[in-house]
Amino acid sequence: MSKGNSRGLKHIMFALLLALTTSLAVAREAMPLAADEAVEKRMVAISDEMRCLVCQNESLSGSHAELAQDLRQEIRAMIKAGKSDQQIKAFMVDRYGDFVLYRPPVKTTTYLLWFGPFLLLAIAILTLINYLRRRGARLDQGEASEPELSAEERQRADVLLKQIETKR
Protein backbone atom coordinates (compact mmCIF):
# COMPACT_ATOMS: atom_id res chain seq x y z
CA MET A 1 0.00 0.00 0.00
CA SER A 2 2.53 2.53 1.16
CA LYS A 3 4.86 1.52 -1.64
CA GLY A 4 2.17 2.28 -4.22
CA ASN A 5 1.45 5.61 -2.58
CA SER A 6 5.03 6.76 -2.68
CA ARG A 7 5.27 5.76 -6.33
CA GLY A 8 2.14 7.79 -7.09
CA LEU A 9 3.67 10.75 -5.30
CA LYS A 10 6.83 10.36 -7.35
CA HIS A 11 4.78 10.40 -10.53
CA ILE A 12 3.00 13.56 -9.49
CA MET A 13 6.27 15.24 -8.58
CA PHE A 14 7.76 14.21 -11.90
CA ALA A 15 4.77 15.50 -13.79
CA LEU A 16 4.96 18.80 -11.93
CA LEU A 17 8.64 19.09 -12.68
CA LEU A 18 7.99 18.38 -16.36
CA ALA A 19 5.23 20.97 -16.47
CA LEU A 20 7.55 23.51 -14.90
CA THR A 21 10.41 22.87 -17.32
CA THR A 22 8.20 23.03 -20.41
CA SER A 23 6.74 26.36 -19.37
CA LEU A 24 10.28 27.60 -18.80
CA ALA A 25 11.38 26.38 -22.22
CA VAL A 26 8.44 28.10 -23.92
CA ALA A 27 9.16 31.34 -22.14
CA ARG A 28 12.77 31.20 -23.18
CA GLU A 29 12.06 30.47 -26.83
CA ALA A 30 9.48 33.17 -27.31
CA MET A 31 11.74 35.96 -26.13
CA PRO A 32 14.03 36.69 -29.11
CA LEU A 33 11.12 36.65 -31.55
CA ALA A 34 9.34 39.41 -29.67
CA ALA A 35 12.52 41.44 -29.46
CA ASP A 36 13.04 41.33 -33.22
CA GLU A 37 9.44 41.67 -34.24
CA ALA A 38 10.07 44.58 -36.58
CA VAL A 39 13.01 42.82 -38.22
CA GLU A 40 11.02 39.62 -38.53
CA LYS A 41 8.08 41.42 -40.11
CA ARG A 42 10.27 43.09 -42.71
CA MET A 43 12.10 39.83 -43.37
CA VAL A 44 8.81 38.02 -44.00
CA ALA A 45 7.53 40.87 -46.19
CA ILE A 46 10.67 40.73 -48.34
CA SER A 47 11.00 36.97 -48.53
CA ASP A 48 7.29 36.57 -49.35
CA GLU A 49 8.08 38.24 -52.66
CA MET A 50 10.84 35.78 -53.43
CA ARG A 51 10.95 32.28 -54.76
CA CYS A 52 12.83 29.53 -53.00
CA LEU A 53 15.26 28.06 -55.52
CA VAL A 54 15.23 24.62 -53.98
CA CYS A 55 11.47 24.08 -53.88
CA GLN A 56 10.44 26.40 -56.65
CA ASN A 57 6.75 26.42 -55.84
CA GLU A 58 7.35 27.83 -52.39
CA SER A 59 8.18 31.35 -51.38
CA LEU A 60 11.41 32.02 -49.56
CA SER A 61 9.45 32.90 -46.43
CA GLY A 62 7.50 29.64 -46.39
CA SER A 63 10.15 27.14 -47.41
CA HIS A 64 11.77 24.70 -45.02
CA ALA A 65 14.73 24.11 -47.32
CA GLU A 66 18.05 24.67 -45.63
CA LEU A 67 19.12 27.22 -48.22
CA ALA A 68 15.92 29.18 -47.57
CA GLN A 69 16.71 29.24 -43.85
CA ASP A 70 20.23 30.48 -44.60
CA LEU A 71 18.91 33.15 -46.93
CA ARG A 72 16.32 34.30 -44.40
CA GLN A 73 19.13 34.58 -41.89
CA GLU A 74 21.10 36.59 -44.45
CA ILE A 75 18.13 38.91 -44.99
CA ARG A 76 17.73 39.37 -41.22
CA ALA A 77 21.40 40.30 -40.94
CA MET A 78 21.06 42.80 -43.78
CA ILE A 79 17.98 44.38 -42.19
CA LYS A 80 19.86 44.73 -38.91
CA ALA A 81 22.78 46.26 -40.82
CA GLY A 82 20.38 48.96 -42.00
CA LYS A 83 20.13 47.92 -45.66
CA SER A 84 17.12 49.10 -47.64
CA ASP A 85 14.61 46.70 -49.20
CA GLN A 86 15.98 47.68 -52.59
CA GLN A 87 19.52 46.75 -51.57
CA ILE A 88 18.39 43.41 -50.20
CA LYS A 89 16.51 42.68 -53.41
CA ALA A 90 19.61 43.57 -55.43
CA PHE A 91 21.70 41.23 -53.27
CA MET A 92 19.41 38.34 -54.12
CA VAL A 93 19.09 39.16 -57.82
CA ASP A 94 22.88 39.47 -58.18
CA ARG A 95 23.22 35.91 -56.97
CA TYR A 96 20.20 34.07 -58.27
CA GLY A 97 18.91 36.24 -61.11
CA ASP A 98 15.47 37.71 -61.73
CA PHE A 99 14.09 34.21 -61.24
CA VAL A 100 13.98 34.73 -57.46
CA LEU A 101 11.51 37.57 -57.85
CA TYR A 102 7.83 36.73 -58.10
CA ARG A 103 7.37 40.08 -59.81
CA PRO A 104 10.03 40.24 -62.52
CA PRO A 105 11.20 43.76 -63.40
CA VAL A 106 10.05 45.37 -66.65
CA LYS A 107 13.04 45.41 -69.01
CA THR A 108 13.81 44.46 -72.60
CA THR A 109 14.15 40.75 -71.89
CA THR A 110 10.83 40.65 -70.01
CA TYR A 111 8.74 42.80 -72.39
CA LEU A 112 7.21 39.70 -73.94
CA LEU A 113 6.34 38.36 -70.50
CA TRP A 114 4.70 41.59 -69.36
CA PHE A 115 3.04 42.74 -72.57
CA GLY A 116 2.58 39.44 -74.41
CA PRO A 117 -0.86 38.77 -72.88
CA PHE A 118 -2.06 42.26 -73.83
CA LEU A 119 -0.72 41.72 -77.33
CA LEU A 120 -2.69 38.47 -77.58
CA LEU A 121 -5.79 40.23 -76.26
CA ALA A 122 -5.39 43.01 -78.84
CA ILE A 123 -5.03 40.44 -81.62
CA ALA A 124 -8.14 38.62 -80.39
CA ILE A 125 -10.19 41.85 -80.26
CA LEU A 126 -9.03 42.93 -83.72
CA THR A 127 -9.89 39.51 -85.14
CA LEU A 128 -13.32 39.66 -83.50
CA ILE A 129 -14.02 43.18 -84.85
CA ASN A 130 -12.86 42.14 -88.29
CA TYR A 131 -15.07 39.06 -88.22
CA LEU A 132 -18.14 40.97 -87.03
CA ARG A 133 -17.66 43.62 -89.69
CA ARG A 134 -17.37 41.07 -92.43
CA ARG A 135 -20.39 39.19 -91.21
CA GLY A 136 -22.36 42.42 -91.01
CA ALA A 137 -21.37 43.32 -94.54
CA ARG A 138 -22.33 39.88 -95.75
CA LEU A 139 -25.77 40.09 -94.11
CA ASP A 140 -26.44 43.60 -95.49
CA GLN A 141 -25.46 42.44 -98.91
CA GLY A 142 -27.60 39.34 -98.56
CA GLU A 143 -30.74 41.35 -97.67
CA ALA A 144 -30.22 43.87 -100.42
CA SER A 145 -29.72 41.33 -103.14
CA GLU A 146 -32.36 38.83 -102.09
CA PRO A 147 -33.68 37.49 -105.38
CA GLU A 148 -37.25 38.43 -106.14
CA LEU A 149 -39.57 35.60 -107.19
CA SER A 150 -40.69 35.67 -110.73
CA ALA A 151 -44.45 35.40 -111.43
CA GLU A 152 -44.07 31.80 -112.45
CA GLU A 153 -42.21 30.92 -109.26
CA ARG A 154 -44.76 32.72 -107.14
CA GLN A 155 -47.55 30.68 -108.72
CA ARG A 156 -45.69 27.43 -108.00
CA ALA A 157 -45.13 28.48 -104.43
CA ASP A 158 -48.81 29.31 -103.97
CA VAL A 159 -49.81 25.91 -105.34
CA LEU A 160 -47.43 24.14 -102.96
CA LEU A 161 -48.66 26.11 -99.96
CA LYS A 162 -52.27 25.39 -100.82
CA GLN A 163 -51.51 21.67 -101.11
CA ILE A 164 -50.15 21.68 -97.59
CA GLU A 165 -53.18 23.53 -96.26
CA THR A 166 -55.67 21.13 -97.92
CA LYS A 167 -53.79 18.13 -96.53
CA ARG A 168 -54.35 19.48 -93.05
Alpha-carbon distance 133 to 115, whole Å? 27
- Scanning 31-39, 42-50, 70-78, 153-161 for contacts with another protein by CB under 8 A, the matching segment is 70-78
Of 95 and 162, the one with the shorter C-beta distance to another protein is 95
Contact flags string 37-56 toward another protein, x per CB under 8 A: ----------------xx-x
- Which amino acid is present at 63? S
Question: Between residues 15 and 123, which has the closer beta carbon with respect to another protein?
Answer: 123
Site for another protein in 90-129 (CB under 8 A): 93-99
> Among residues 70, 140, 153, 158, which is the contact residue for another protein, using CB under 8 A?
70
Q: Which of 85, 78, 121 is nearest to 103 (CA)?
A: 85
Alpha-carbon span 75 to 88, nearest angstrom: 7
What's the burial of 59, exposed, middle or buried (CB within 10 Å: 0-12/13-18/19+)? middle
The footprint of another protein on this chain (CB under 8 A) covers a number of residues equal to 15
Nearest approach in angstroms of CB 120 to another protein is 11
Sequence-separated (6 or more) residues with CB below 8 Å from residue 103:
49
Q: In this structure, how many other beta carbons lie within 10 angstroms of the beta carbon of residue 85? A: 14
Contact between 71 and another protein (CB under 8 A)? yes
Q: Which is nearer to another protein, 35 or 124 (CB)?
A: 124
Rounded distance between C-alpha atoms, residue 72 and residue 33, angstroms? 14
**Cβ 128 to another protein shortest distance, Å:** 14
Binding site for another protein (CB under 8 A): 53-54, 56, 66-67, 70-71, 74, 93-99
